[in-house]
Amino acid sequence: MEATFRQFKNKVESWPSWEECQTIVLAISGGVDSMVLLHLMIELVQLNEYKDRQLVVAHFNHRLRSPEIHDKEQTLVVETAKKHDLVYFVSKWESPSKSNIEANARQARYQFLADVLDASQGDCLMTAHHLDDAVETMFMRMVRGTSLKGLTGIRDNYQRVMKATNNGVTVTALMRPLINFRKADLYRYAKAHQIRYYEDESNQETEYLRNRIRQQYLPQIELENPQFYNNLFAMQQQLTSSYQAHYETYMKEEPILLAKLEAKRWALDVEKWRNLSYEFREVFLTIFFEERFIEVAGQYDKEAINHLLDQILNTENPNYRFNLAPGWVSRREYNYIFIEPEERKLPQLSDYRVDLSSNNKWFSLGNGLWIGLFNRAFVNNQMRKAVDDFLALDLSGFKRTPAFHIRHRQDGDLIELNSSKGSYHKKISRILIDDKIPSSLRDRIWLIVNDDNEVIWMIGHQSSSKYQPQKPENITHYLLVQKMY
């Protein structure tokens, strides 16, 4: 058994998940990496202990180069699969994107691979990523800027969650058995075994950052230390272990730190986040963004984590918001921070008004909420118990019943209150702050106001001393509030 095959076999067998793999889907492009992978796997399943394993070939055309080249690659892959009596699937990218090409192409490719796994009932997926790929990817991410998770780079064996064309979710073991091989080793192996492959000519074009890193930057660094690739990959594996340890710790703490309110909304407990050390706050927020937020938002500004840290620690302004990412906001309301999609601007509520134009009649405030001014004789004990809220009034000093209307708060609103020193006026805005009413709810609170624009009642919160009965027998009217549905 030659050294390359032995190293490959040992790598595959080192993964416990390999024991569960009966049907293995191979992502084969037609390049040297994937054609060597295909050759090695064909050799492996010919061994007696693995003759029950089935290989499935999956080829995806990204349509980013000339049709002639893609046709040649596909023909090579299909002919090789037929030669060895392998099941194969081919597909193409129907609508190649004009921007963010690498990420979108990867997404389209893995969607196709998820379809193949479903169709073939595959147990695991293998790709031909090698050591050069791993180092180039990590280096490229460092140049562009990345997170702790981004520095973990290309993992050699893990459970991958993929979405198929029908939006079904596929979970599979993703294996990269060539991850410890240099690309030069694969060229030598292909030559020694006369393996046909096609070279991607776009790999020579220096307009792509990855190609500049591969052809210009990394060779210079490798001259300083020939072990640079192995050293960087070893560091990458240490970072992967470190991230995994932090992730497992975070998962234990997540139910205490935040709650998922619905599909696209979370509430962070400010006090619980403050109790963490600075280091854990930053690491846990990073993990939240990488493992939770990015799944629904697609991206986020790296500065968003710093803004959120400030929002957690801010003791002077417990109610404010900022843009977290395109279409997303972080909204602090006292002891909680809500991370949610940015809502469209709501209509101005301060101009909305309902006049209580007659007594003993219900008026709708919308959303099933009703209010009315009723004569005392009209209201019995059972009725008072049945409603959600009420306010007793003494209007005996008026020849005509004062006119009341309902509206939302306006700048300068005051309410008359009593104290041991006599009556005084207090701003509605101050009451809302003192009662810690979230800013998002303040403009939605209903106020009962008389024709002099004096606030009589903040429904559900505070009532004025004006019209307040001194004795039960002085009650002449009731304001009743009822949630009908």
Binding residues for ATP: 29-34
- Largest Cα–Cα separation, the chain: 110
Give the Cα separation of 297 and 299 in Å (integer).
6
> Per the structure block, which two tokens stand in for 97?
């994107």
Q: Residue 354's closest CA among 484, 448, 464, 428?
A: 448
Phi-psi region of 306 (alpha: psi -120 to 50; beta: other; left: phi over 0): alpha
**CB 49 within 8 Å of CB 35:** no
Tokens of 5: 């095959």
* Residue with the two structure tokens 């240490």: 238
Closest CA to 92 of 75, 112, 122: 112
Please answer whether residues 233 and 134 qualify as being in contact, where contact means their C-beta atoms are separated by less than 8 angstroms: yes
Residue 30: name the closest of 210, 202, 195 by CA: 195
Q: How far apart, in Å, do the first and last CA atoms of the chain sit?
A: 77
CA distance 483 to 485: 6
Residues of each annotated binding site: 29-34
Short-list 199, 181, 140, CA closest to 7: 181
Sign of the CA dihedral with 434 first, then 437, 440, and 446 last = negative
Using CA atoms, how far apart are residues 457 and 467, in angstroms rounded to an integer? 10
**Number of residues that this document lists for the chain:** 485
Tokens of 429: 């805005």
Task: For residue 137, give the 3-state DSSP assignment.
Answer: helix
Long-range CB contact pairs, 482-485, < 8 A, 24+: 482/362, 482/369, 482/370, 482/371, 482/386, 482/387, 482/388, 483/368, 483/369, 483/370, 483/388, 484/368, 484/369, 484/370, 485/368
